[in-house]
Amino acid sequence: MGIMCRSLWAFLLLSLVVVQLSLPVSATDGIFRINLKKRQLDRDSRIALRMASEDSESGRASLRKFRFRNSIADVSETDIIPLKNYMDAQYFGEIGIGTPPQKFTVIFDTGSSNLWVPSSKCYFSVACYFHSKYKAGQSRTYQKNGKSAEIRYGTGAISGFFSEDYTTVGDLVVKNQVFIEATKESSLTFLVAKFDGILGLGFQEISVGNVVPLWYNMVEQGLVKEPVFSFWFNRNAVEDEGGELVFGGADPSHYKGNHTYVPVTLKGYWQFDMGNVLVGGQSTGVCSDGCAAIADSGTSLIAGPTATITEINHAIGASGVVSQECKTVVQQYGQTILALLLAETQPKKICSQIGLCTFDGARGVSMDIKSVVDAKEEKSSGSLGDGMCSACEMAVVWMQNQLRQNLTQERILDYANQLCEKLPSPMGESSVDCASLESMPSVSFTIGGKEFSLTPEQYILKVGDGPAAQCISGFTALDVAPPRGPLWILGDVFMGVYHTVFDYGNLRVGFAEAA
């Protein structure tokens, strides 16, 4: 589900969100709305910043948002889901399953592809007792399937079995949709979450059980005229309305100018090629040769390679946990790394040459690197327990970037040590001084040849009010090994600033400044 992060902060948002949803029905075919509300984050609700993240047989899971206005260009061709926002981190809507519809609050997640809700047969998971449960016996359109199903997320897992029934989204009814009845929900994440389930909007390629996603059936059954859906997230903290999900098009009142489109490069997640990442207008060097990225409404933050995230968090003054391994590498091998870089040794081979990694022909690898599931591919977990190999590789990136600026050896080694001190904790949290936002740099991502910038006010999440307020960095580390990585996950922090169009018909993703 969405890809995608973890900890007290990394647990920050998945709870206490919402509910009071209304379901206005449009008399015009193809338009539907689901309103969501937002609540202030309190001390006890700081559990779950990102709902299940990285791994699963289908992908990963996480967090979301949106809002509605009656200004659709052609309401007969679009379907709209207005959502409500919780701390700019979770966005939820209401659907119905069965005939008559049984109501469920779900996250609309472009980082996964299955629909699941708790089952009435969920007897032994405490989380199920705090959420709505699907009762097959109360639906006239229920059809038995019974095949077992399981999805593993970074912060927990659900398991159960497949069933089939009509699914209502707004005033649209999708017939014979296969979904998962969850009979087991592990971890505290699902217990404190205010959503009942998840509705995946990714591609069938990452669908558990190869189930046809609900969005595919919407298109196949002619419920929307255009195979396009779009997200607008309302980042105004004082407004209850969270934003808007539109099926069948985009609401022009929610964006400025034209969208910049990039083609989907790998079906599964909504993945595309991204260019350079800049901090304060300066290149980090990590994506100078290009990186893969996904637009994920199911992830709250922006996730990227640990080395670059550490640079960003250093630049914005975020405090993390000291990594002794990192400092040891800089102290013992820093001068050697610099000498090899100056000798124009291939950067990817340096850590293997000094004996900290084993070079596999394409990159340095370590037996210590943990993996998170991607069904068929291994990924680096991004935790600080990856060992000396990953610490070395980060140091190489940092030093290479500083050499381009013609700095002295002493300054380069000092800079690397500073970055070591800014490495986030194993759970990914990094906090900043709320009073220093004005002095923080912008962070930009190059997509389709255009720079998409975020200001400090846009990439910092503020928790609480007054003297007790805390500010959390919107950037978290997640390392994905080649060939799938490096991979960036542009979650709600990014999508809240840039209206996002998911064009299924033309296999492309578009971004425009949100209005």
Give the CA angle between residues 430, 434, 438 to the nearest 5°. Answer: 110
Mean pLDDT, residues 246-272 = 94
CATH of the domain at 289: 2.40.70.10
Same domain flag for 395 and 342: yes
**237 domain-assigned:** no
405 in the same domain as 329: yes
- Report yes or no on 246 lying in a domain: no
**Do residues 313 and 329 both lie within one domain?**
no
- Tell whether 11 is covered by a domain: no
Domain with 156, as residue range(s), is 81-224
Q: Which residues are catalytic?
A: 109, 296
141 and 89, same domain (yes or no): yes
Band (485; pLDDT cuts 50, 70, 90): confident
Q: Are residues 294 and 416 in the same domain?
A: no
Indicate the number of domains in the chain. 3
278 with 203, same domain: the answer is no
Residues 305 and 343 in one domain: no
Report the relative pairing of strands 487-490 and 291-295 from DSSP bridges: parallel
CA dihedral 186, 481, 203, 190 (to 10 degrees): 20
Task: Please name which of 380, 401, 394 lies closest in space to residue 484, comparing C-alpha atoms.
Answer: 380
Q: In the numeric block, which tokens belong to residue 72?
A: 């659709």
pLDDT digit string (tens) for 374-425? 333 333 333 333 568 888 988 999 999 999 888 999 999 999 988 887 776 6
User: Is 200 in the same domain as 153?
Assistant: yes
* Span of 31-40, 61-70, 306-315, 338-347 with lowest mean pLDDT: 61-70
Query: What is the CATH number for 410?
Result: 1.10.225
What tens digit of pLDDT does each residue of 111-161 get? 899 999 999 999 999 899 999 999 999 999 999 999 999 998 655 789 999
- 378 falls within a domain: no
pLDDT digits (tens, 9 = 90+) for 45-100: 343 333 333 333 333 333 222 222 222 233 333 344 445 344 445 678 899 999 99
Residue 505: pLDDT band by 50, 70, 90 thresholds?
very high
Residue 301 has pLDDT above 50, yes or no: yes
pLDDT at 317: 86
| pLDDT computed for residue 336 by the predictor | 94
User: Which of 35-44, 290-299, 315-324 has the weakest average pLDDT?
Assistant: 35-44
More confident residue, 191 or 200: 200
Query: Are 272 and 354 contained in the same domain?
Result: no
Same domain, 296 and 443: yes
445 in the same domain as 349: no
HSE, CB side, 13 Å, CA atoms: give it for residue 133.
18
Location of structure tokens 């930009």: 444
Same domain, 398 and 444: no
Which of 60-69, 75-84, 216-225, 331-340 is least confident? Answer: 60-69
Going 188 to 192 to 198 to 202, the CA torsion angle's sign is: negative
